[in-house]
Amino acid sequence: MVVYDVTNPDTFHLLRQWLDSIKQQNGGKSLPGVVIANKIDLENRIAVTPHDGQAFAQSIGFEFIEVSAQRNHQIDLPFKTLANHYYQMYEDRMAQVSNL
């Protein structure tokens, strides 16, 4: 899960660097993830468009979710999304093991 501030393009541009660091620590293993655009409540200060965030998330195979911590908007959705992905990975693994 990586988060950027839609009012601060620097945080968006650092996402790839943060992901590279995570992959390095994870041995390069591919995992599901979510790109989170935060502070969408600051409509008049948005510097990174939803299209840019969506395109980046799609390019790395992650889901894209816009949130507002200030307004308590969708802040639980990224956690539920990842929990569902990991549960599905677990179910798939258990199915593989039972077929051996």
Structural domain spans, the chain: 2-98
For the segment 9-29, what is each residue's pLDDT rounded down to a tens digit?
Answer: 999 999 999 998 888 888 878
Whether the CB-CB separation of 38 and 76 falls below 8 Å is answered with: no
Place of tokens 């395109």: 55
Residue 81's identity, in one-letter code, is T
* Domain 2-98 CATH assignment equals 3.40.50.280: no
For the segment 26-72, what is each residue's pLDDT rounded down to a tens digit?
Answer: 887 878 899 999 999 999 999 999 999 999 999 999 999 999 999 99
Q: Which two tokens stand for residue 18?
A: 């943060």
Q: How far is CA 80 from CA 16, 23, 42, 73, 93, in A?
A: 23, 22, 24, 14, 20
